[in-house]
Structure 1
Amino acid sequence: MPAPIAVPTLGAFGVTIAGTLDPGTGVVGRSTNLPWLDGTAPAETLSRALGIPGVAVQDGEAAALAEARVGAGRGAGDVFVIALGTGIAGAHVVNGAVHRGAHGAAGEIGHLRATDADHACSCGGRGCLETVIGGSQLGVRWRERGGEGGTARDVVAAAGAGDAAAIATLDAAARGFGRALLALSALVDPALVVVGGGVARSPEWTVEPALRHARAESTFHTLPPVLPAALGVWAGAHGAALAAAA
């Protein structure tokens, strides 16, 4: 084990983890995109190396904590934050604290069944929201419809140029996201939803049509206001710092 690194101006640290995390032990349960983290305790390892206390926070929770407390959801009290990125993360923040659930996995909206299609998901399930609107999957879905494939940005650019396959791909993604928002309203009923992440940077193809689909399919649901995230790529870092300072 290396000797502790002297960091005199740092009293504590926070680190974000892409995966499920036991909030009591700090042990990673499962990281579908970084499987080598499974069963490890990153904060404990870093704490020994740095010689200062630290805390590990699930990445979606960290971003949600920051957006709810100092970002777009500031003052709302009851906020669900969704990150539409390579994968889909989410977390529910009530009165400034993340609601983690009994097993630390609450808020995993990316793994709700959101499509009738049988797309395989990295979590082992099928038809998850992440398979239709996750940034790593949009290009795959476009290629399946006869498009060129590529990144989420490529799909959006092609749709803007009138590519029918890209437009259909994004419409299916928005429909799936709309269904997830309806499920969120039924189960959680948050006062506010904040949406960020790279895929959400094209709201005219993602968030806005998702809300139209959700309203069209809504029955008893009360859809909350949906705002764009305010902290950008730094949301997770802000959230980790807030958790470390708690």
Structure 2
Amino acid sequence: MRHVIALDVGGTGMKAALVGVDTATCGETSAGRPVLLHEARRPTGRDRGPDAVVETILGFAAELRDLGTARYGAPAAAAGVAVPGIVDERAGQAVYASNLGWRDVPLRALLSERLGGVPVALGHDVRCGGLAEGRIGAGRDADRFLFVPLGTGIAGAIGIGGRIEAGAHGSAGEIGHIVVRPGGLECGCGQRGCLETVASAAAVGRDWAAACGDPLAGAADAAKAVASGDERARAVWHRAVDALADGLVTALTLLDPQTLIIGGGLAEAGDTLFTPLREAVRRRVTFQRLPSIVPAALGDAAGCLGAGLLARDLLSTEVTA
């Protein structure tokens, strides 16, 4: 069975899969979604430092290679890995990630070497998620879209004409570092008042934990409290939604997308998020065309699916060449 390795590296955990690439058998579903032959997760281990994180990634990929060889009689034909931060996809380098602490890691070369020389594609985690949402998810019918997952941080993937824009230096779409509250909380990037310090799932969880006095409370707990009518939760939620709307209107003013796709942990709140968010964005637009604001379709599998698509694209390129 011909297959590829897909890895999605997050701030706290990693998702991985073996993805079929033989479309004549089990390479994809009738809806075009790649079939995940095997799925696994493990902690990123960022508390042990950036070198340990890199070794964990390499070791996890090697385990998947061995598993694929044992199950299907041959090693993976390629691998795709999605990582956070600033990524130089052409050079195969993980340039910077504040939540993992690394700089200028030649991850593509390291992975290829560990996997015995197979081709490896390196991508940004959110752009990989956007690639998957654009091809097989909520953006498949949109020529221009912006995918914004609200998780530990906030970033964006800009979809234009079937591709995801990386930018000249690998940092296109970093909407989470638009300053929406000047002089606010310090961000890991060094600025103050960045969008992700106010409107990420981590920020909502932090603010709700402080408001309710439970240090273990998170964003999901805040959403439940909002739905139950808790005024403290509503105040926390309102601050986050207002900041998010400010950031999104800035983005849509620059990019003019047909569709805004919102994913990540906060999107799981459903109408508790989308009803006030749509209204907050509507109130802010003037000359801009109001886009559709929709939930992501692929959930937390988007990054891993996108990494698998990158790896499959490598094989398609080889065949074409």
- TM-based fold match above 0.5: yes
Aligned to 1:214: 281
Deviation at 1:143, TM superposition (A): 4.6
Q: 1:223 aligns with which of 290, 301, 309?
A: 290
Which residue does 1:201 correspond to in 2?
Answer: 268
Letter aligned with residue 239 of structure 1:
G
The structure having more radius of gyration, on CA atoms, is 2
Aligned CA-pair RMSD: 2.1
Residue of structure 1 in register with 2:34 after alignment: none
Moved over 3 A (4+): 4-7, 143-149
Q: Give 1:39's aligned residue.
A: 104
Structure having the higher strand fraction is: 2
**Of 67, 86, 89, the match for 1:23:** 89
**CA deviation after TM superposition for structure 1 residue 217, in Å:** 2.0
Of 143-152 and 214-223, more deviation after overlay is shown by 143-152
Structure possessing the higher relative contact order (Cα contacts under 8 Å, 6 or more residues apart): 1
Structure 1 position 157, deviation (Å): 2.1
Match of 1:130 among 187, 193, 196: 196
Instruction: Give yes or no for contact 1:120–1:127 (8 Å, CA) kept in 2.
Output: yes
Q: In structure 2, the residue corresponding to 1:44 is in which secondary structure? A: helix
Q: Which range moves more in the overlay, 114-123 or 42-51?
A: 114-123
Q: Percent identity?
A: 36
Partner letter of residue 201 of structure 1? E
- How far 1:117 sits from its partner (Å)? 6.1
Secondary structure, aligned partner of 1:207: helix
Alignment of 1:105-144 (within 5 A): 105-115=171-181, 118-144=184-210
Residue equivalent to 2:126: 60
Q: C-alpha distance in 2, partners of 1:135/1:200?
A: 9
Cα shift at 1:16: 0.7
TM-superposed deviation, 1:116: 5.1
Rounded to whole Å, the distance in 2 between the matches of 1:42 and 1:107 is 21
Is the CA contact (8 Å cut-off) linking 2:199 and 2:240 kept in structure 1?
Answer: yes
Residue identity in the other structure for 1:57: G
Among 63, 85, 93, the residue aligned to 2:159: 93
Q: Secondary structure at the match of 2:179?
A: coil
Q: TM-score, normalised by structure 2?
A: 0.71
- Contact 1:170–1:205, Cα closer than 8 Å, also in 2: no
Q: Is the 8 A contact 2:81 2:122 kept in 1?
A: yes
Query: What is the aligned partner in structure 1 of residue 251 from structure 2?
Result: 184
Aligned partner of 1:243 among 301, 307, 310: 310
- The alpha-carbon distance between structure 1 residues 172 and 116, as it changes in their structure 2 partners (threshold 3 A), is farther
C-alpha separation in 2, matches of 1:130 and 1:229: 19
Tell me, in whole angstroms, the C-alpha distance in 1 between the residues paired with 2:273 and 2:123: 27
Q: CA deviation at 1:129?
A: 1.2
**One-letter amino acid of the structure 2 residue matched with residue 67 of structure 1:** E
Residue type of the alignment partner of 1:84: L
Any stretches of 5+ residues in structure 1 without a counterpart? none
Gaps of 5+ in 2: 1-57, 314-321
Which amino acid counterpart does residue 61 of structure 1 have in structure 2? R
- The answer on 1:78 being equivalent to 2:144 is yes
Q: CA deviation at 1:61?
A: 0.4
